[in-house]
Structures are given as structure tokens and as C-alpha cells.
Amino acid sequence: AGSERVGKVEFVIVLVKLIILGVFVVLGLRSVHLDWITPQLDAHHARQALDGTAVFFLAYMGFGLVTNASEHMRDPQRNVPRAIFLSIFVVSVVYILVSVVAVGNLPLPALIRAEDFALAEAAKPFLGQWGYILVSVGALFSIASALNATLYGGANIAYALARDGELPPVFQRKAWFQAPEGLYITVALSLFFTLLLNLGGIASVTSAVVMVIYLFVLAAHYRMTPQCGGRRWIIVTGWLLTLGVFVALMIYQWQTSRLSFWAIWATFAGSLLVEVVYRSRTGREMLVRELGTLVQEFRHIQR
């Protein structure tokens, strides 16, 4: 029931957001300056595109949250892949169209100066001040949808880890309003990074963390291929590409923002420290479960 309510709320929020973006795209395409969106394919601009890809890896991390709801999904073996691939396709189309309208209606220097409200500023040339307000409202809905999905996914992960003994039992309680610890931790960490970094820095830290998680997930999948299925060459290709993007992100942050660079590694070190302290205080040891047990759990989720 809880998953169904979260899904309905998310559907309404995303629908409103897509309507606003649809208005932005449909009206903005009519006034796009084609010479402003002509791609430049020299080495310098190609490097900038790679740097941008590394930073905005965050924009595609939300698709992994779909798997967090697999236990509460009908026919997950069929619906999870469909949801992921369809979401990636739809969002890619939306991203491209929105980018074309933004870059094609506002000169690049003006977009850079606008920084965190660049999209709202890009709506002014063809929608005026009302366009600025409309896109700003859409941004609020976007934040709400991201928080709703992230907190839901995080709660599911915390519950699953606590159920398996890898987090304190307090996280195993299912009643959200009787178990605020996870929300308190999330708010505290969010406030810390917001005060420490700008949006670009926060995006870089989040992207780096997600990429490292994906690297471990891909490595685990490679090892479990005989039991779970999958083409190993695809897994290896994905792992190498993710590693390449991670290295590119580290190089970019070292060259442009040392604070963000060290914040990324401080996040990894902090996570390791919390795990070490938790183990020492509880006496818990890291247990490696047999592959057969993991496969049985995986197949149970699929059913």
C-alpha cells in the first residue's frame, strides 16, 4: 500500500513537470537560433563534452532507483527492464529537446552567468517573465519528485540492509513516521554538502558515489553471471566505460575544483570510517554469503 501511494504521488508530480517542460519545448523550438546549436567537434570541445558527461552522470542515476522497488512490483523480471529502458529513452529525448531550446534561445555566456537558474532564464526570450516563473515552478516539482523517489528508494535499501543484519535493527521498522533516523541522517548530510559546495560540486560528489556503486554492482553481476544470466562482454564494457567516466571526473575536479575533488574522497573515507566504527561497536563481521543463497533471493524477488 505504501509503495502504491508513493507511486501515485510520483506520477502526479512527474506529469506536472513534463507538462511544464512540454510547454517550454513546444514554444521555444519556434525561436531557436540554428547557428547557436551547431556542434563544434574539435578536440577542445570534445574534451569539454566528456567533462560534462562525467559531471552530469547524476542526471541518469535515478533509473537505478527502479530496482529498489522490485520487491513491490508485479512481474519484476519483465517490468523492471522495461521501466528502465523506457525511462532512459523518454528522459534522453526530453533532455535533448530542452537543451536545444535553452542553448538556441539564450547566448551561451548568458546561460553560464545564469548558473543555477539557467533554464528559467532561457524561457524569457519567448515567454517573458511568466516563462521564468513557469520554469521555476517546474524546478520545484522536479526537486519534489527527486526527493520522493530518493527517500523511497533509500528507505527500501535501509530496510533490506537492516533485515540482513548489515544496519542497526532500528532501520527495519516499516512505519516511516516512527522511524525518522534515516531522514535525519539524510537531512544532515544534505545540509552539510549544501553549505560546503555549490550545485556543481554536489552533483560531482553524487555522481562519483553512484559510479563507484555501479562499478561494484557490475563486478558482482560479472561474478554471478552463470547463476543470474547476462552477457559478460556487455558487463565488462559497462564497467570499463563507467571507470573511464569516473577517472575523467576525478581529473576534471582536480583541475577545476580541488574542494569538490577532496569532498569526493572524504565521502568515501567517511563511509568506510562509519562501517569500521559500527563493526567495532557491534562486533559484527562482514559475512560473505554463498552464491546459491544470493541467487535464491534474486529469483524470489523476480517471482
Q: What would the pLDDT profile of 114-154 be if each residue is shown by its tens digit? A: 877 888 999 999 989 999 999 999 988 888 887 777 777 66
Q: Give the end of a domain, one of 160, 189, 218.
A: 189
Q: How confident is the model at residue 201 (pLDDT cuts 50, 70, 90)?
A: confident
Instruction: Tally the domains of the chain.
Output: 2
Same domain for 288 and 160: no
Please indicate, yes or no, whether residues 179 and 201 belong to a single structural domain of this protein: no
Instruction: Clarify whether residues 203 and 185 are in a common domain.
Output: no
Alpha-carbon gap, residue 164 to 287, rounded angstroms: 10
Q: Which domain holds residue 132?
A: 1-189
Higher pLDDT, 192 or 135: 135
Higher pLDDT, 140 or 165: 140
The whole-number pLDDT of residue 81 equals 84
Q: Is the pLDDT of residue 289 over 60?
A: no
| Per-residue pLDDT, 206 | 82
* pLDDT higher than threshold 80 for residue 29: yes
Q: How far is CA 91 from CA 109, 200, 262, 302, in A?
A: 26, 21, 31, 26
Q: How far apart are CA 20 and CA 138, in angstroms?
A: 6
Same domain membership, residue 205 and residue 77: no
Which of 156, 189, 222 terminates a domain? The answer is 189
- Whole-angstrom distance, CA of residue 245 vs CA of residue 254: 14
Q: Are residues 157 and 242 in the same domain?
A: no
Residue 15: band (very low, low, confident or very high) from pLDDT cuts 50, 70, 90: very high
* Inter-residue contact 258 to 268 (CB < 8 Å): no
What's the confidence (pLDDT) of residue 37?
A: 87
Residue-level pLDDT at 177: 46
132 and 232, same domain (yes or no): no
Judge if 14 and 154 occupy the same domain: yes
